[in-house]
Amino acid sequence: MLHPSYNEMIKKMNETAGEGDKQLTSRFSLVIAASKRARQINAGSEPLVKVQDKEKNLSTAVDELFAGKVHVLEDVEEPEIEAEEGEELIEEA
Chunked into runs of 10 residues, the chain (93 residues) has average pLDDT values of: 75 80 83 91 91 86 88 65 53 52
CA distance to 4, 47, 56, 80, 89, per residue, from 84 (Å): 52, 45, 48, 13, 9
| Cβ within 8 Å of residue 59, ≥6 positions away | none
What local confidence, expressed as pLDDT, does residue 41 receive? 93
What is the structure's pLDDT at 67? 87
pTM tops 0.95, yes or no: no
pLDDT at 78: 53
**Which residues touch 24 (CB under 8 Å, ≥6 apart)?**
10, 13, 14, 30, 33, 72
Question: CA angle at residue 81 from 76 to 87, to 5 degrees?
Answer: 155
